Homo-oligomer: A and B are copies of this chain.
Amino acid sequence: MASAPSAQLLEPLDVPPWTRTPGAPILTHPYGLPSSFESHVVRRAARQWPMPGAASSLTPLADLHGTLTPNGLVYERHHGGVPDIDPDAHRLAVHGLVTEPKLFTMDDLLRLPSESRIHFMECSGNTASEWKGPSGLPLQLTHGLLSCCEWTGVRLSTLLEAVGGSTPAAPGASPRWILAEGADAAAMTRSLPLDAILDRALVVYAQNGERLRPENGYPLRLIVPGYEGNTYVKWLRRLKVVDGPLETREETSKYTGLLPDGRARQFAFEMDAKSVITRPSPGQRLTRHGYYPVVGLAWSGRGTIRGVEVSTDGGINWQSARLEAPVRDRALTRFTFDWTWQGGPATLLSRATDSTGYVQPTREALVAARGLNSYYHYNGIQSWRVGADGSVANA
């Protein structure tokens, strides 16, 4: 094929208006902001909350790409509003059953060896809207209590070494737990099994490269990769080693799951493997027949994602999706399934399998196991209905 004709095609290109006039000066925003054309990409609340400080807002997953969540869009869940903490006045107490209890300043913490890791964070109430069947809500409101960031801080184990270690339990005594408490008006307080989290919990001061945002725990937060978001205690002011769980409000009246037989699942910390298709998703529209990449996110609180299968016929046939490398431990993994939309109706589903072999269940299987009084830890397979007109719905 001769190259000369095609070389000339499209030329001269149209010169758009923004090429004809100088653009905005440097440092218009010393701290930058998104384009005004992206003003719809914001956190949103799923409902009116009776108290504005005890509420949540959700990450716009359908408009995001890759695996990281920018700090401005990380989901929020507060129980007493967002405190405005002076980092110079903030202290972290590490005490209880330890050799040398200490109060740490932020400067003290910055002088300890640090570590950075990319992990997801998911509220255990995420996707609770779907327990009773398709809610009709769009992705942001069904799955948006989910974010993924690079976290930087000090290992919990390093902090415990800095206080001489926890004092050994007496023979036959209970294993050590650790109480984490926030400096917010709710004094958010959770108990955690110390041995189980010691290898991976971090006390973090930075998120995605910069210091934590106020609504994400500035200046200090605990993260426990793979555990429910509520254990990522924000505005962290206390870590107290204790000899058992303290049965705080947030682990008795809340963050437990009522089972059909009247018992409650308590301390169900780990987030089960889950996946969801982010594009196409409800509110979007397929505009032409032909190739569409079906893209989504998969994650597990117990390790890595081993595979994701996609169905376009409501779950009759399943095929493997491509996982985008690197597949990180306890982090969001992006998957893509190459689909050709023929123009008819379709029902799109995704199903994750994690490195333990656990397979994301159907809603029916979840309900059979846990009944309909549960609220937390819903991880059922999500389906999106594509209409013949290209519309997409949660139906």
Report the separation of the CA atoms of residues A110 and B288 in the bound assembly, to the nearest whole angstrom: 13
Q: How far is the CB of A206 from chain B (nearest CB, A)?
A: 4
Instruction: Please give, as numbers and ranges, the residues of chain B lying within 8 Å of A167 by CB-CB distance.
Output: 1-3, 6
Partner-contacting stretch, out of A119-127, A290-298, A305-313, A356-364: A290-298
Q: A9-B101, A35-B84 are in contact. Are A210 and B26 (CB under 8 A)?
A: no
Complex contact B24–A82 (CB within 8 A):
yes
A344 at interface (Cβ–Cβ under 8 A)? no
> Chain A 20-37, CB within 8 Å of chain B: the 1/0 string?
111111111111111111
Complex contact A209–B69 (CB within 8 A):
yes
Complex contact A43–B23 (CB within 8 A):
no
Complex contact B33–A34 (CB within 8 A):
no
Q: Which of A275-303 contact B (CB under 8 A)?
A: 279, 287, 291-293, 295
Q: A86-B37, A210-B38, A324-B115 are in contact. Are A73 and B26 (CB under 8 A)?
A: no
Instruction: Please give, as numbers and ranges, the residues of chain B lying within 8 Å of A91 by CB-CB distance.
Output: 14
A374 at interface (Cβ–Cβ under 8 A)? no
Q: A24-B84, A41-B211 are in contact. Are A7 and B95 (CB under 8 A)?
A: yes
Q: Which of A34-73 contact B (CB under 8 A)?
A: 34-38, 41-45, 49, 52-53, 55-57, 63-73
A268 at interface (Cβ–Cβ under 8 A)? no
Within 8 Å by CB of A185, from B18, B112, B116, lies: B18
Q: Which of A106-154 contact B (CB under 8 A)?
A: 107, 110-116, 150-152
Q: How far is the CB of A45 from chain B (nearest CB, A)?
A: 6
Instruction: Please give, as numbers and ranges, the residues of chain B lying within 8 Å of A63 by CB-CB distance.
Output: 210-211
Within 8 Å by CB of A81, from B22, B31, B36, B78, lies: B22
Complex contact B53–A24 (CB within 8 A):
yes
Report the separation of the CA atoms of residues A187 and B113 in the bound assembly, to the nearest whole angstrom: 46
Complex contact A35–B68 (CB within 8 A):
no
Report the separation of the CA atoms of residues A269 and B70 in the bound assembly, to the nearest whole angstrom: 30
Instruction: Please give, as numbers and ranges, the residues of chain B lying within 8 Å of A11 by CB-CB distance.
Output: 95
Q: A57-B27, A97-B3, A213-B33 are in contact. Are A19 and B68 (CB under 8 A)?
A: no
Instruction: Please give, as numbers and ranges, the residues of chain B lying within 8 Å of A41 by CB-CB distance.
Output: 31, 210-211
Complex contact B86–A213 (CB within 8 A):
no
Instruction: Please give, as numbers and ranges, the residues of chain B lying within 8 Å of A68 by CB-CB distance.
Output: 68, 150, 208-209
Within 8 Å by CB of A101, from B6, B31, B95, lies: B6
Question: Nearest chain-B residue to A100 (Cβ)?
Answer: B6
Number of A interface residues at 8 Å Cβ cutoff, please give it. 120
Instruction: Please give, as numbers and ranges, the residues of chain B lying within 8 Å of A25 by CB-CB distance.
Output: 52-53, 55, 81-82
Report the separation of the CA atoms of residues A300 and B205 in the bound assembly, to the nearest whole angstrom: 27
Of A74, A116, A184, most B-chain CB atoms within 10 Å = A116
Q: How far is the CB of A39 from chain B (nearest CB, A)?
A: 8
Complex contact A95–B30 (CB within 8 A):
no
Report the separation of the CA atoms of residues A213 and B30 in the bound assembly, to the nearest whole angstrom: 13
Q: A66-B206, A113-B293 are in contact. Are A185 and B31 (CB under 8 A)?
A: no
Complex contact A295–B89 (CB within 8 A):
no
Q: A10-B103, A167-B6 are in contact. Are A82 and B28 (CB under 8 A)?
A: yes
Of A29, A64, A65, A101, most B-chain CB atoms within 10 Å = A65
A-B CB contact pairs (8 Å), 14 listed: A20-B185, A23-B83, A24-B82, A27-B57, A30-B43, A32-B215, A35-B84, A35-B85, A35-B211, A37-B87, A38-B211, A65-B210, A66-B151, A113-B336
